[in-house]
Chain A
Amino acid sequence: MNFLALTTSTADWSAAAGVTLFYLFAALSVVSALSVAVSKNIVRAAVGLLMSLLGVAGLYFLLHAEFLAAVQLVVYAGGTLILIVFGIMLTSKSPFSHYEPKTREVVIAIGVGMVLLAAIVGAILSGPFAVVGVETEGYPITQLGQALLGDYLVPFELASVLLLAVMIGAAYLAKSRRRES
């Protein structure tokens, strides 16, 4: 292939761009996740979760899971998070309601978090995980569809039944108290 010599320089460039984008998305998701943990205002925490979800969607793009990234943006950032924001609006008397944690709880949480992070990172770095990704030829969306309606047909149908049950159950739970009072 005379293509190959031509594409190596662009391959170098795209690899550098991939590394840069990885660090960008990783920093976005981790910093936003930290802001979820530390922010006092629950609305700010929700916005931090939105940013974190966007960063994770970018990571999915870099991992060649484009369909999953789209689902993440549509279902998570567009659906679940809007639901949570509605929950915040319905359950806070004032938009600035604070629930201050006790200092002891914060100290315990930071201690547990540091120890756990050190343990997990140590385990990852000592494990056999320094492997390079396998580039696939194009995006195998047909593989995804065939797996979903082939090997995973039963869980797929069960998920639809579960969603129906959740819809009925959530409507019942949210409504029953109001009728009584």
Chain B
Amino acid sequence: MEIYLHHYLIVAAALFVCGLCTILVKRNAIGILLGVELILNAANVNLVAFNHFSHGGTLAAPRLDGQIFALFVIVLAAAEAAVALAIFLNFYNNFSTIDVERANNLKG
């Protein structure tokens, strides 16, 4: 019994679907942010798994492009969470709630 690449891909698919369901179900804006983080993690697992199972380069010096992509994804996720939380705080100060159903001022 051994762990193949598709084991990791299936775990990442499950994480992705959980994140998507979180985004669809939650009405709390921060809940939606949690779903986005889950989806980014699923993408990261895919990147690192593909890098481990089929990297170019030699055994002593493998290429690590997938890991570097994952590092950038982590940096961008942190930045995105900071900006999104600032927007949510602003929204909360205006409407006293972060229910996304209430954010319909621009609705036609």
Contacts and interface: CB of A to CB of B under 8 A. Distances in A.
A19 B4 CA distance: 10
A97 B28 CA distance: 10
- Bin the interface of chain A by size: 35 or more
Contacts of A83: 78, 81-82, 85
The residue among B1, B17, B38, B98 with the most chain A CB atoms within 10 A of its own CB is B17
B61 A140 contact: yes
From A99, A171, A181, residue with most partner B Cβ within 10 Å:
A99
Contact of B6 (A106, A108, A113, A125): A125
A80 B20 contact: no
Nearest to B1: A19
Contacts of B2: 15, 19, 132
B11 A59 contact: yes
Interface of A: 15, 18-19, 22, 26, 29-30, 33-34, 36-37, 42, 45-46, 49, 52-53, 56, 59-60, 62-65, 67-68, 71-72, 75-76, 79-80, 83-84, 86-88, 90-91, 93, 97, 99-101, 105-106, 108-110, 112-113, 116-117, 120-121, 124-125, 127, 129-137, 140, 143-144, 147-148, 152, 155, 159, 162-163, 166-167, 169-171, 173-174, 176-178, 181
B14 interface: yes
15 contacts: A19-B3, A29-B11, A36-B34, A56-B44, A59-B48, A63-B8, A71-B71, A76-B41, A101-B27, A109-B24, A112-B21, A117-B13, A143-B64, A147-B63, A173-B89
Contact of A68 (B25, B48, B65, B93): B48
A45 B7 contact: no
B103 interface: no
B101 to A, nearest CB: 9
A18 to B, nearest CB: 7
Most chain-B CB neighbours within 10 Å: which of A37, A132, A134, A177? A37
A60 B12 CA distance: 12
B5 to A, nearest CB: 5
Contact of A147 (B68, B86, B92): B68
Closest 7 CB pairs of A and B: A33-B18, A109-B24, A173-B86, A99-B27, A129-B6, A170-B86, A120-B13
B4 A173 contact: no
Contact of A84 (B33, B38, B51): B33
Contact of B21 (A37, A121, A125): A37
Nearest to A159: B75
B4 A131 contact: yes
Contact of B68 (A116, A120, A152): A152
